[in-house]
Amino acid sequence: MATEIEGSAVVVAETKQPHRLERKWSFWCDIQSKPKPGAAWGSSLRKIYTFDTVEEFWCLHDQTFQPSKLSPNADIHLFKEGIEPKWEDPVCTGGGKWSITINRKESLDLMWQETLMALIGEQFDEADEICGVVASVRKNQDKLALWTRTAANEAVQMSIGKKWKEIIDVTDKINYSFHDDSKSQRSVKGRYSI
């Protein structure tokens, strides 16, 4: 902050410092989450941008990263920097996800935004347990999933699930599935629900 004296008036000029986040986050996008025949899952998954200030977040969010701006079958992700949004990532591999299906695009955008703000604002007590969030834009029902790292720790997952429901203002039951189950079965039953 710089202070100048002009005559008798004191002029305070703010030096604008960006508001730094607790950690770095990356946006990812997969514009074709259902691969074309012969292509491997994830072949169109790309890291788009890594940021660590509030200002960058809002600029990116407003300009680009809203699920309703994407075409069906696209996935958009916000993950901690250094973690890839894949079951195979060493941090995600023993984890799982809380998921919710959403019928209205406006609700998807709003819940996505509330979740992003909670993540970058470190609102979860178990912040170290969180990997990131994925919005899946689909023709019929969109989905939002919060990925966490230690699926076997039921108490931690229940606490995260409860908090997430408050954040996105959901009262219906949500389910938690293990990535290990998703790897081996197409139709996965939730292991926990809240």
Using CB under 6 A as the criterion, which residues of the chain lie in contact with ligand MGP when the complex forms? 33, 41-42, 86-88, 136, 138, 143, 182, 186
Cβ-count burial of 183 within 10 angstroms (0-12 exposed, 13-18 middle, 19+ buried)? exposed
Is the CB of 157 or the CB of 177 nearer to ligand MGP? 177
Min dist CB 33 to ligand MGP, Å, is 5
Min dist CB 145 to ligand MGP, Å, is 7
List all residues 6 or more positions away from 187 whose beta carbon is below 8 Å from its beta carbon.
none
Min dist CB 14 to ligand MGP, Å, is 44
Beta bridge partners of 12: 3
Is the CB of 86 or the CB of 105 nearer to ligand MGP? 86
Is the CB of 42 or the CB of 94 nearer to ligand MGP? 42
Is the CB of 113 or the CB of 182 nearer to ligand MGP? 182
Beta bridge partners of 25: 51, 80
Q: What does each C-alpha distance from 58 to 53, 65, 90 come to in angstroms? A: 9, 10, 29
